[in-house]
Structure 1
Amino acid sequence: MTPADLDKTAELTVWPSRSLGRSAKGHPFATLREALAAAVQAIEAENAEPWIITEEGDVLSPRWIRANTQSRALQ
């Protein structure tokens, strides 16, 4: 992932971590940067499982989001 990718569109889907059988709806974001910020908020506030699909079609898992949003490289 390059810094330019952070300014491309992305879709965030947040799954409740403890609610099996519930569906979740994706939410579009103007930038991957915004989607990552919302994903971090969901993790912290709801203990949720966010998944992001980038404009390029990459799928960012909750584990990837947790590991990479703690670094200054994505900010």
Structure 2
Amino acid sequence: MTPSDLNKPAELTLWSSRNPAHTAKGRHFSTLRAALVAAVEAMDAGEAQPWIITDAGDVLAPNWIASHRL
């Protein structure tokens, strides 16, 4: 992943921390940077486990997101 990837589209999926594992909400973001901000906010609220799929097809797991906070 390169710094320019932060300006490319990304898809954020939030898996609920409270509901059964099959419950998820997906959102498209115009930039990976915006998706990361939303993912960190959800993690900090304790409501979800976020997963992000980048425009290049990379899958960013919750542990990766937590360790690469913006």
RMSD, aligned CA? 1.3
With over 3 angstroms needed to count, the CA separation of the structure-2 counterparts of 1:25 and 1:48, relative to structure 1, is: closer
User: 1: CA distance between counterparts of 2:53 and 2:21?
Assistant: 21
Taking structure 2 as the reference length, the TM-score comes to 0.90
- Judged with a 3 Å threshold, the aligned counterparts in structure 2 of structure 1 residues 39 and 5 are, in CA distance, closer, same or farther, namely same
AA aligned opposite 1:64: W
d(CA) in 1 for partners of 2:24, 2:3 = 28
Indicate the structure with greater helix content: 1
**Paired residue for 2:64?**
64
Point out where structure 1 has 5 or more consecutive residues left out of the alignment.
70-74
Residues paired across the two proteins, number? 70
TM-score normalised per structure 1: 0.85
CA distance in 2, matches of 1:18, 1:5: 31
Runs of 4+ in 1 over 4 A off after TM superposition: none
Identity of aligned residues (%): 57
- Normalized per residue, the structure richer in strand is 2
